[in-house]
Every structure is written in structure tokens, then in C-alpha cells.
Amino acid sequence: MILSPEIIKRIIYFVEPCWYPVIYYLFNNVLNMPQPSSFQIDVFLYYSAKKGDKQLCYLAKNLGSKNFNLMLYGSAKGGYEELCRIAKKWGAWDSNTMLRFAAKKGHEHLCYLAKQWNAINFNQMLIQATKGGYENICHLAKKWGADDFDIMLYNATERGYEHMCRLAKKWGADDFDEMLYIAAKHNYEHLCYLAKEWGATKFNWMLSGAATAGHEHLCRLAKKWGAYDFNIMLISAAFGGHEHLCYLAKKWGARNFNRMLNHAAKGGHENICCLAKEWGANNFNIMLETATEEGHEHICRLAKEWGATNFRIMLHVATLRENERLCQLAKKWITATTNSK
């Protein structure tokens, strides 16, 4: 099969759009391709810097790219000092974002360079180094003045880095209740035990995090440790779409089925909405409003089917959210209601 030049152009663009500028540079005379946009050229510069290709960075500049901060970010992410220096020479100035990228990828030498170029956001450096699991960079950030160790604790917990949690605590982090919530949400049972050992007591919060993410064994552990707010568990499970945990919360005593309905609507979970209605939920106007706010058309239709009538509120919310489809639907339902009177 012989492909036409038009099909070849479309295939080239589809396969790797971020490299379109260099393909244009190479094949424009043959294929008569449309000129790349400034955005495409800037993205090309970023990826070229991230790959460490100096010649392609020069090509992007020759093609018209002027966003040299993007080049700085890509170079910092890839660990290429020479390209960072070239980007600065060409006009890049955002050393704080450079510091973030370098810290997240563990490039200590580039952290020093960013500081030399007047980067001062060392708490962001600490956060990104924690996300990457780079303890040496965390020590450096602290040495330079970082002091938000609770944020460090949260990010370490989110990724399951126990050694980083211990380091954050050693340096002064003490929000172990938030640590417990995050650990439960991300299914790190060992960190739940650690948070409790360090003094966490908000087991209802732990129950909420575990229920939101669907971790039944951690819900049971939270209950064992003293959690008792099973309505919180119910609405969290409803929002997360975890039907089995809704049943468990009800078994343990949860009864707030209208809030269950509202959070199921917020999450877009039709099966949980049906379950809430079966159990006695009847606030379908709130269901309609919440579903509109989140853009869940199928839940809006279900709310109307069940008796929701406040379509003017639906229209107001849809207008604020700039959801044209739901605006039109609300107007249609308002007209039908008006005509039926």
C-alpha cells in the first residue's frame, strides 16, 4: 500500500507530537507540513533538555523557542548541568523551580547550583526530595533553612517511606493524626501502627481514609483501636464507590443515608445512590445539585427520575461550572415543568 503525503504527515504527528518541530525541520520540503506552533517548539525544547541533547536545544532555539525556563526545568530534571548553564545564559531565571526538579530527582550538584543562582524555596526542595526518597537532599534542605517537617511527614507517609517519616519526626514533625489518615488511605498498615505509637488518636479520621480508598482491613483496625463514627465511614465509602464498606458501615450502625446519597452522587457512583435510596435516602434535590456540581449527567437524570424538581438550582450550578450540556438539560427540564402546570 502506498501512503499519501497527507497520511504520512498525520502518522508522524500522531506518533510523537512533541518531536513534531524537528520532523518539520527535516521533512518540510518534501511533505509541505504546517509550521509547528510556539507551544510545540517550547515542549520540544523541554524534552530535548530533559534528554540532555544540546544540539536539539540549539535547534529549538533556532526554530523560535524563547521559553528557556522550560529548558532549565528539563535540564534540572535530567541532571544536566551544562544545559542548565546554557539555559541561564539564554535568559532562564526560575532557579526555585529548577531547585524543585533537581531535588525530586536527587541531583545534589544542581541543588547547589540553583542556590548559587539565588533559589530560596528550601521547603519546596524538602518536599520534592521527600517525594523522591532522597535523604541526602532532605538534609541539605534542612541545612539551608527548610523547616516544614509536617509537610515532609505527609509526603513521606503518602509514599510509604518509613525512614523519611522517622527523619521528619526527629526534626520536629508532630502531626501524627494526619499521618494516620494518609497511611490508612494509602494502605500502609505499618505506618498506621507507627503513627499510633507516636501518639495519633484520631481513629475516626483513620476510618474515613481507609473507607475512602476501600481498605476493609484498615477499617476494622480503626474500629479495634476505638473508631466509632460509622457515618463518616459510610459517606467516605460512598464517595469512593466501595459498596461492601457501605454494607459494613451500616452493619456497625451507620444511618445517615442522605449524606451517603450526596457523597455517592459527588463520586458519580450510581450503584451506591441506588443503595442509599433503598435504605431510605430521599433528598434527591441535594443529589441533583451535587451531581450537577461534579458534572455527572447520569446521576442528574437519576435524581430527576426519583423526584428531584429543583432545576433552577441545577441551572445556576451548571452555569457557574460552565457546563453547557447540563445547562441545556436544566433549561429543558424547567421548560417541561413550566408547561405541565
What is the domain partition of the chain in residue ranges? 1-93
**Cell 497511611 sits at which residue?**
183
Through-space distance between the first and last CA atoms of the chain, rounded to whole angstroms: 64
With contact defined as beta carbons under 8 Å apart, do 36 and 61 qualify?
no
Q: CB burial class (10 A; 0-12, 13-18, 19+) of residue 336?
A: exposed
**Rounded Cα distance, 195 and 12, in Å:** 52
pTM of the model: 0.84
Coil, strand, or helix at residue 37?
coil
The pLDDT, as a whole number, for residue 39 is: 86
| CA pair distance 291, 264, nearest whole angstrom | 9
The confidence score (pLDDT) of residue 1 equals: 45
Separation CA 177–CA 184 (nearest Å)? 11
- Length of the chain (residues): 341
For the beta carbon of residue 214, count every other beta carbon within 10 angstroms.
Answer: 18
Which of 157, 117, 158, 124 is CA-nearest to residue 138? 124
pLDDT at 339: 79
Q: Are 308 and 284 in contact (CB under 8 A)?
A: yes
User: What φ, ψ does residue 35 adopt, rounded to 5°?
Assistant: -65, 140
Average pLDDT of adjacent 10-residue blocks, the chain of 341 residues: 56 57 64 74 91 91 93 97 98 97 97 98 97 97 98 98 97 98 98 98 98 98 98 98 98 98 98 98 97 97 97 96 96 88 60
Kind and range of the H or E run holding 41: helix 38-51
Rounded to 10 deg, the angle between the 324-340 and 297-306 helix axes is 20
- As a whole number of angstroms, the distance between CA 142 and CA 298 comes to 50
pLDDT of residue 247: 98
107 alpha carbon, distance to own chain's centre: 24
Query: Grid coordinates 435510596 are at which residue?
Result: 277
